[in-house]
A and B are shown apart, each in its own frame.
Chain A
Amino acid sequence: MSRLPERDGERIDRGRSLTFTFDGREVGAYEGDTIGSALFAAGQRTFSRSFKYHRRRGLMCCAGQCPNCLVQVDDAPGVRACTEPVREGMQVMHMNAQPSLELDVMNATDRFGGPFTPPGFYYKTFIRPRRLWPLYEKVLRHAAGLGRLRKSQPEREWQTEYRRRHADVLVVGGGAAGLSAATAAAELGADVVLADEGPEPGGRLLAEGGRDYARELAGRARAAGVELLQNAPALGTFDGLVPVWQGDTLHQVRAAQLVVASGAIEQPLLFPGNDLPGVMLSGGALRLVELYAVKPGTRAVVAAVCDRGLNAALALREAGVEIACVADLRPHGGSRGDAAKLLQRRNIPLMRGSTVLEARGRGQLDGVILGPPGSDDGAGERTLGCDLLVVSGGSAPATSLLSQAGARTGYDERRGHFALTHVPSGVLAAGEVAGVGELAAAEGSGALAGADAAHALGFGDEASRAAAERERAKPAGPNGWAAAGNAVPPPVTSERRGKCFACLCEDVTSKDIHLSVKEGYDSIELSKRYTTATMGPCQGRMCQLPAVRLMAEETGTSLADVGTTTARPPWHAVPMGALAGRPFEPAKRSSIHGRHRELGANVLWAGDWRRAYDYGDPRGEALAVHEAAGLIDVSTLGKLIVRGPDAGEFLDRLYPNRFSNLKPGRIRYGVIASDAGRITDDGTICRLDDDAFYVTTTSSGAGAIYEWFTWWLADWGLDVHITDVTQGLSAVNLAGPRAREIVQGLTELDCSADAFTYLDGKRAAVAGVPCLILRIGFVGEVGYEIHYAAAHGEDLWDALLRAGAPHGIRPFGLEPQRLLRLQKMHILVGQDTDSESNPFGAAMPWIVKLDKEQAFIGKWALERFAEDPPETALVGFRVANGHVPTEGAVVMPLDGSPMGQVTSARHSPQLGGVIGMAWVPAALAKDGERVTISDEGKRLEAEVVTRPFYDPDGEVLRS
């Protein structure tokens, strides 16, 4: 057991024990432990196997930054053990090792496969023989990737709430600088949101002895009104929109000012064996000790480039870890600082001008070689046994979000990393990410950034602005705490034996990067794509800077010239489910829908509506309409009330035919054309009175036509109001020889043939429900399309079915309706027409009134179409042999070249044969002409019919 005695500031609660399983084994933990800390405390040292070589990997950063501890938790892959809190009963499994973590057969690639798996190996080793590529691809695909997703996850339904949050200031990062920035801005009156990826605010304070102070800073922020979001990483910036992922919520934060206080990421060192379990970043070792009271090792060696490493050595010594030696790369070994003196006082040996040259061990660290960098001859080297190597290779500011927002960075020789050189307006950087690491200075930089953000938005006053200017003018203080300014850039590795990893996630070695340059991929962007360095789970946190150093060395250019790769979102891993939002499909249902279900309807999608396609017997339902009466729910129709003194003129301008001369109480069919003369929609228009029209549209076109109407109205500025009542009104169509009797029995309105003629529209109460009744005939029999308030949906439906029962009424669905309208050759816009169809080709030349006084949309184009005969025309057809052609089947005139297609086809029991509609060459658009239809290899003979198949003269309809 590596658990230390109780420590001040520890995160664990020793009074509450939990258990979970790891690869089936039970493991004990305390509340507050992470999976990583609990496993480490229980003696686990190997946490995963690396991506390509399947080498053992152990805890390294303990901050969710490196890939070494990725595990599978309860079927969710890709969980970082070092940050994921333990829950009772969790089932944790290893990833990427078969059959087990201890014995992984794929480790053979590490021992033998090196020469076969250089960068781009899938195009080298596995390129021949080419015919085996499908097999190779299967094998490689199986070997690639880290976790496993269960193919069927029935219980796991991800529901993420999208929360739109508009704020004045968004602060990313809840360390000392971020908390100070948020507090300063909020105290000046701004609405501030702070997003921090950790479980509690404080950042570095938490593991470096400042937990109480962190609580104090957080308290001040809350008191000032800052909205603090924890476990909430910011994923990226998208033109000012910052998505912050917090469990089941995706906050889409748009703030007028963005303050980024994301800190800096401690960097590893490059040397052979740098990925062995037992090699840890100093921050990682300290976090294990301070937060979880776990001893990271028994005997440690520390390799540092700055005081941060020395301070870590002291802290670990105080926690009971034996420090065998500290190697400080600086020639003077920070001799001016306190840390070196303290080391001396504790008799800890300090090697100046030295670093770690090699780490040794079989699957686990057992010793290191220290010495001056670049030494190959053994001079000045020391070999030491140890089970923990603490490395501190400087730090790299976490500038990704800032770069995504348009900031620029440049290599800073003095600090040894890429530092910010420019931030765009509206964006500020504070704290360690801006190069200010020392605690007091970081707080000051945060407070100043917060004040600047608030001032930029007009908050604050003369006094607060003056105070900010005074703060800005202060000289920079001494850099004691983080001592970033004292860092010496670590060296590149020398040519020693053993793999030296530049990118831990993708198993890219320093040799691979050198090789990529030799092969010609000599820019950082090319080399990145070729080797895949920085493309793994850490997204460059551990490897961007080392990769750039290696590239600079290999190409002989400066780091400044090599540059960095483009920063891209997401900065933090996020599950697809969190981005997908709620898994629901909005479905529209009419107010009569319940009745369709009760009647056993076959309900299917029609656009975003749920509709009854039939009630189990489409043929019988269609026949009922011919023989007795049918009732169909057509509530999905678009319905617009166009009202005003200019309403008639408005419709005349929009439609190719006239409506201003339509008498009140009469109905006319209309087709909407675009200014290119193409059919976009159709419907009926009933004039209600002198200045009001009731316009219907197709179900799927309702929204678009409403916007078409309101757009032109906005441009013309006519005295017209348009009200969309599509969803407020229900509509049913009662059709058939008995329809008149049925409806007459429910209303006092005179429905006799002479009083209520075809294309009349009348208002009356039917079964007590106030209605607008349109006598139109989409399905070819005497029919009444009844529109009424949706609240009465079921009432009227029930009344009509009851009244119709003795007459043999049947409800009918979309499918029989389609057959009935096809018998009448009534077009369905979008089915029988497409975006290029014009009224002349679609057999409706009579709807285009070119002599109309009022100019209308589409007139110019339609004048041209009127003069040029169409190439193809829409006609009906009959097929003799009983085969129903597929919609879309190609029409071939008898000379063989295709021209035209079938748009609708059905077998009609009423007519005793197969009928349909198709576009055919215009020359053949005459009764009796013959065309061939090619349908999936079959050839059908068809005869053209230009007039409706059923009741061609409309006598039945008008009776």
Chain B
Amino acid sequence: MSYVLTCPNCGPREVTDFGFGGEVNPRPVAAPSARELGEYNYFRRNVAGVQREWWVHRSGCGAWFYAERDTRTNEVLLTELPEAGA
């Protein structure tokens, strides 16, 4: 797999510069049931389509950011830093 990601700080780089942080899965807000906790920890949607996901610029500025990538074609639609004070 080989494509380019645009770090919001540093600009476009080979994807091998980055570490992949998995799909963006919102953390349960209130105390989850055992099933909800298990799904949060171990299950992934693994969509065949546009996925919102975390990346970290490991070989660069070290920032964590979001990307939206089509998992079928590896076309990256956007990258953006998380908003402060989420």
Q: Are A239 and B86 in contact (CB-based, < 8 A)? A: no
Q: Is the CB of A861 within 8 A of B56?
A: no
Interface with B: A210-218, A605-613, A707-715, which one?
A707-715
Would you call A240 an interface residue if the criterion is a C-beta within 8 Å of the partner chain's C-beta atoms? yes
Are B56's CB and A717's CB within 8 A?
no
A319 close to B (CB within 8 Å): no
Whether A689 is near chain B, meaning CB under 8 Å from some CB there, is no
A254 to B3, CA, bound (A): 9
* Distance from A311 Cβ to chain B, minimum over Cβ atoms (Å): 43
Q: Give residues 665-689 of A contacting B (CB, 8 Å).
A: 674-676
- Whether B32 pairs with A860 at a CB distance below 8 angstroms is yes
Contacts of B72 in A (CB 8 A): none
In contact, A239 and B1 (Cβ under 8 angstroms):
yes
User: Please, how many angstroms separate the alpha-carbon atoms of A955 and B64 in the complex?
Assistant: 45
Please indicate the chain B residues that have their CB under 8 angstroms from the CB of A238 in the complex: 2
Chain A residues near B83 (CB, 8 Å)? 717
Q: Which residue of B lies closest to A675 (CB)?
A: B41
Residues of chain B within 8 A of A710, CB atoms compared: 56, 62-64
CA distance A716 to B1 in the complex (A): 31
Judged by a CB distance under 8 angstroms, whether A164 is at the interface is yes
Q: Does the CB pair A707–B31 fall under 8 Å?
A: no
| B21 within 8 Å of A (CB atoms) | yes
Chain B minimum-CB-distance residue to A710: B64
Interface residues on A, range: 20 to 34
Interface centre among B1, B3, B12, B41 (most CB of A within 10 A): B41
Pick the residue among B3, B41, B64, B74 that contacts A714 (CB under 8 A): B64
Known contacts being A254-B4, A254-B14, A717-B84, is A860 close to B31, with CB within 8 Å? yes
Q: Decide: A675 and B27 in contact? CB cutoff 8 A.
A: yes
- A716 CA / B41 CA spacing, docked (Å): 18
Contact B2 A241 (CB under 8 A): yes
Question: B3–A861 contact, CB under 8 A?
Answer: no
Contact (Cβ within 8 A) B2 A239: yes
Q: Are A717 and B85 in contact (CB under 8 A)?
A: yes
B60 within 8 A of A: no
Query: Among B2, B14, B81, which residue has the most Cβ atoms of chain A within 10 A?
Result: B2
Whether A864 is near chain B, meaning CB under 8 Å from some CB there, is yes
Q: How far is the CA of A711 from the CA of B65 in the complex (A)?
A: 9
The yes or no answer to B10 lying at the interface (CB within 8 A) is no
Given contacts A238-B2, A860-B37, A864-B34, contact A715 B19 (CB under 8 A): no
B residues near A164, Cβ cutoff 8 Å:
14
Q: How far is the CA of A716 from the CA of B74 in the complex (A)?
A: 28
Question: What is the interface of chain A mostly: helix, strand, loop, or mixed?
Answer: mixed
What class of interface size applies to chain B in its complex with A? 20 to 34
CB-based contact A861/B86 at 8 Å = no
Tell me, in angstroms, the Cα distance from A717 to B64 when the chains sit together. 12
**Please, which residues of chain A bring their CB within 8 A of the CB of B2?**
238-241
* Partner of A717 from B54, B63, B86 at Cβ < 8 Å: B86
Q: Which of A239, A675, A676, A715 is within 8 Å of B74, CB to CB?
A: A239
Contact flags B30-45 to A (C-beta < 8 A → 1, else 0): 0110100100111000
Mask: chain A, 644-659; 1 = CB below 8 Å from B; 0 = not: 0000000000000000
Query: Can you list, as one digit per residue, whether each of A573-598 has a CB less than 8 Å from chain B (1) or not (0)?
Result: 00000000000000000000000000
Chain B hits for A166, CB < 8 A: 12
- Report whether A240 and B86 are in contact in the complex, using a CB–CB cutoff of 8 Å: no
Q: Are B19 and A707 in contact (CB under 8 A)?
A: yes
Contacts of B49 in A (CB 8 A): none
Bound complex: CA of A240 vs CA of B32, how far in Å? 44
Contact B21 A861 (CB under 8 A): no
> CA separation between A14 and B56, bound complex, in Å?
60
CB neighbours of B63 from chain A (8 A): 710, 714
Interchain CA distance A675-B43 in the complex, whole Å: 13
Residue of A nearest to B62 (CB): A710
Bound together, the chains give a CA A710 to CA B57 distance in angstroms of 11
CA distance A707 to B40 in the complex (A): 20
On chain A, the residues within 8 Å of B41 by CB distance are 674-676, 861
> Closest A-chain residue to B54, C-beta based?
A711
Check if B64 sits within 8 Å of A711, measured CB to CB: yes
User: Is B37 touching A240 in the complex (CB atoms < 8 A)?
Assistant: no
Q: What residues of A have a CB within 8 angstroms of the CB of B3 in the complex?
A: 239-240
Contacts of A716 in B (CB 8 A): 86
Tell whether, in the assembled complex, residue B1 and residue A717 are in contact, meaning their CB atoms are under 8 Å apart.
Answer: no
Q: Which residues of B contact A711 (CB under 8 A)?
A: 21, 54, 56, 64
Q: Closest residue to B1 on the A side, CB-wise?
A: A239
Residues of A within 8 A of B62 (CB): 710
Select which of A715, A717, A861 is within 8 A of B37 by beta carbon: A861
Give the most central of A166, A676, A714: most B CB within 10 Å: A714
Query: How many angstroms between the C-alpha atoms of A707 and B65 in the bound complex?
Result: 12
User: In whole angstroms, how far apart are the Cα atoms of A164 and B32 in the complex?
Assistant: 47
Residue numbers in B under 8 Å from A717 (CB-CB): 82-86
Residues from chain B with a CB closer than 8 A to the CB of A715 are 64, 82, 86
**Residues in B whose Cβ lies below 8 Å from that of A254:** 4, 14
Chain A contacts for B28, CB-based, 8 A: 860
Task: Give Cα A864–Cα B32 distance, bound, in whole angstroms.
Answer: 11
Nearest-neighbor residue (CB-CB) of A707 within chain B: B56
Bound CA span A254–B49, Å: 24
Minimal Cβ-Cβ distance residue in B for A711 = B64
CB distance from A847 to the nearest CB of B (A): 20
Q: How far is the CA of A278 from the CA of B40 in the complex (A)?
A: 71
Q: How far is the CB of A647 from chain B (nearest CB, A)?
A: 16
Of all chain A residues, the one with the shortest Cβ separation from B17 is A164
In chain B, positions 70-86 with a C-beta closer than 8 Å to chain A are: 74, 81-86
Expressed in whole angstroms, the Cα–Cα distance for A676 and B32 within the complex equals 12
With a CB–CB cut-off of 8 A, which chain B residues contact A714? 63-65, 81-82
The smallest C-beta distance from B42 to any residue of chain A, in angstroms, reads 7
Roughly how many angstroms separate A241 CA and B74 CA in the complex, as a whole number?
13
Report A733-748 CB contacts with B as 1/0, cut-off 8 Å: 0000000000000000
Q: Is the CB of A675 within 8 A of B54?
A: no
Least Cβ distance of B79 to chain A in Å?
13
Most chain B beta-carbon neighbours within 10 Å: one of A254, A716, A860, A861:
A860
- Measured between beta carbons, the chain A residues less than 8 angstroms from B1 are 239
Q: Let me know if B84 and A675 touch, CB within 8 A.
A: no
Tell me the minimal C-beta distance from A160 to chain B in angstroms.
17
Closest Cβ of chain A to B82, distance in Å, is 5
Which A residues touch B58, using CB under 8 A? 707
Q: Please determine whether A676 and B42 come into contact, CB atoms closer than 8 angstroms.
A: yes
Which residues of the partner chain A approach B32 to less than 8 Å between Cβ atoms?
860
Minimum Cβ distance to chain A for residue B52 (Å): 13
Interface string of A139-166 (1 = CB under 8 A from B): 0000000000000000000000000101
Complex Cα gap A570–B63 (Å): 36
Interface residues of B in 1-32 (CB under 8 A from A): 1-4, 12, 14, 19, 21, 27-28, 31-32
- B38 — nearest CB in chain A belongs to which residue? A676
Chain A: minimal CB distance from B60 (Å): 13
Q: Which residues of A contact B82 (CB under 8 A)?
A: 714-715, 717
Contact B40 A675 (CB under 8 A): yes
A154 to chain B, nearest CB (A): 32
Collect the chain A residues with CB atoms within 8 Å of residue B65's CB.
Answer: 714
Name B83's closest neighbour in chain A (CB-CB): A717
Q: In the complex, what distance in Å separates the CA atom of A177 from the CA atom of B56?
A: 42
Question: When chains A and B are docked, how far (Å) is the Cα of A166 from the Cα of B31?
Answer: 49
Specify which chain A residues have a CB less than 8 angstroms from the CB of B74 in the assembled complex: 239
- Whole-angstrom CA separation of A716 from B32 in the bound complex: 19
Give the CA-CA distance A642 to B28 in the complex, in Å: 26
Chain B: minimal CB distance from A895 (Å): 31
Of the A-B pairs whose beta carbons lie under 8 Å apart in the complex, a sample of 5, sorted by A's number, is A166-B12, A239-B2, A676-B41, A707-B56, A860-B28
With A164-B14, A238-B2, A707-B56 known, 10 other A-B pairs at CB within 8 A are: A239-B3, A239-B74, A240-B3, A241-B2, A711-B54, A714-B63, A714-B64, A714-B81, A715-B82, A717-B82
Top 3 A-B residue pairs of the complex, sorted by shortest distance between their CB atoms: A714-B64, A241-B2, A717-B85
User: Interface of B with A (CB < 8 Å)?
Assistant: 1-4, 12, 14, 19, 21, 27-28, 31-32, 34, 37, 40-42, 54, 56, 58, 62-65, 74, 81-86
A binding-site residues for B, Cβ under 8 Å: 164, 166, 238-241, 252, 254, 674-676, 707, 710-711, 714-717, 860-861, 864
